A and B are shown apart, each in its own frame.
Chain A
Amino acid sequence: MTDLGSGTIYTETVVYSPPEAYVNDVPYQLAIVELDGGRRITGRVAGERAHIGDRVKFAEFRNNVPFFSKAIDQKQS
């Protein structure tokens, strides 16, 4: 699978009222990440809560869903 690299949170939310398929996941953080190449993608943020403008790093695909985590280095590379 492709490594999506790093990006910046464009917008985000934490979901409490899930669709049927994700009733066991709540609460979960969903975000639109602006990848460093400029493309935006919707995915999940695992671990520490991220806010608009935060730097995130691609972690893995789970069932074709991209998961990101907040980057330790918050400076734009």
Chain B
Amino acid sequence: MRPVAVVGIGKTAFGAFPDRDLRSLAVEAGQKALENGHANASQVEAFYLGNFAGPSFVGQNHLAPYISNGIGIRDVPATRFEAACASSGSAFFHAASAVAAGLYDIVLVAGVEKMTSQTTPKVTEILAGAGDLCGEVRAGATFPALFAMIARRHMYQYGTTREQLASVAVKNHQNGAKNPLAHMRKVITMEQALAGKPIAEPLTVYDCSLISDGAAAVLIMPLERASEFTDKPVRVLGIAQASDNVALDEKDDITTFRAVQMSAEKAYKMAGVKAADIQFAEVHDCFTIAEIIAIEDLGFVPKGQGGPYSLAGGTCLNGERPVNTSGGLKSKGHPVGATGVGQICDVVQQIRGEAGERQLKRHTLGLAQNLGGSGATSVITILSAE
């Protein structure tokens, strides 16, 4: 397999954009990634798109060629990947695998979601389609409810507290306030986070990620060709995708995501690194409890220690292991189909030293963790300075 590099990144701002349609967001991100990678649309040999629910949110199907042709990419394969909130992580995994295998050289991967044109109950219902409609969803489960039940069990088994959950939100808002592309650029206090409106006990509105519009894209190619396009190639050192049961009540232990553990193990092995070597990470904090479980499943802290470690500041910008320096899904926003590729853009930005006031001192080896549903899909990507 050939080493693969990311040579271009492009993101729209994440937020609520009533005047923008899905296609224009994705086209903007795609064109920015091409420009950033000093490439032309005519050089692209395949287009991979991550999108969760464009057909439900805006009624549009056949999205991949609809968008690729908007970018100016013509004639080549254009395919959409759907894996709930891991849709574009999965698109990236398959694109990187195709380049590694020698199928293509120059590939554009994008992710997009346009969510804010629907009411919150309707968005809640569409998102619930990533769960088991014949079981948990029919009973009234929403995604906040599923993660609330995960949080309750984690609190019961490990003594995780409301303050520990809230500390994740406070930290991510601190980071997001410094990110010019973030959806909610405001600092929140611990008191605010604890007193938020209840969504599904024990989670309040401050434990939940945002409903956002947005798109992200990356240009990838074999590492051996990257120097033709950029001085700062970022290497895909390890990448893996894994799957698990969709229904939460079919999982043995809901305080851990088996697919995350499996994909992390594979990605670490492929990269030849250990969890302890990872300097920083973008993790899938769709809910605060998800970030706590992520740092446990990734092996950054022992099982059950994610809460105390977060509250103690271990994951802050100046902490031992910074997590979600972008602001995470919580503050940066969570246009679900764009999130996986967006995380990869954020890690690449840190590795290149382009993260502005959020720039870390140790930034040569980073990880992105993209989770689908309540853990049925996981994609782990490990990126390094070349």
Contacts and interface: CB of A to CB of B under 8 A. Distances in A.
Contacts of B144: 15, 17
B140 A22 contact: yes
A18 to B, nearest CB: 6
Contacts of A63: 138
Contacts of A17: 120-121, 124, 142, 144, 199-200
Q: Which 8 A-B pairs have the closest CB atoms?
A: A13-B148, A19-B125, A42-B136, A20-B121, A11-B153, A11-B149, A40-B249, A14-B201
Contacts, number: 93
Contact of B139 (A10, A40, A65): A65
6 contacts: A15-B148, A16-B198, A16-B201, A22-B140, A42-B136, A44-B139
A17 B197 CA distance: 10
Interface string A6-41: 000011111111111111010010111000000011
Contact of A13 (B120, B156, B201): B201
Given A18-B121, A18-B124, A32-B249, A42 B152 contact: no
B98 interface: no
A21 B142 contact: no
Contacts of B120: 17
A12 B139 CA distance: 12
Interface of B: 119-122, 124-125, 128, 135-142, 144-145, 148-150, 152-153, 156, 197-203, 247-250, 254
Interface of A: 10-23, 25, 28, 30-32, 40-44, 52, 63-66
Contact of A23 (B121, B139, B249, B250): B121
B60 to A, nearest CB: 21
A32 B128 contact: no
Given A42-B136, A65-B139, A19 B128 contact: yes
B156 A16 contact: no
B53 to A, nearest CB: 14
A66 to B, nearest CB: 7
Contacts of B203: 13
B135 A41 contact: yes
A42 B200 contact: no
B204 to A, nearest CB: 9
A14 B124 contact: no
Given A16-B198, A16-B200, A11 B254 contact: yes
Contacts of A65: 138-140
A30 B139 contact: yes
Nearest to A25: B140
B145 A15 contact: yes
A20 B248 CA distance: 21
Given A20-B119, A42-B141, 20 more contacts: A11-B152, A11-B254, A13-B148, A13-B149, A13-B201, A14-B198, A15-B142, A17-B121, A17-B124, A20-B121, A20-B124, A28-B140, A30-B139, A30-B141, A32-B149, A41-B249, A42-B248, A42-B249, A65-B140, A66-B139
Nearest to B127: A19
Contacts of A15: 140, 142, 144-145, 148, 200
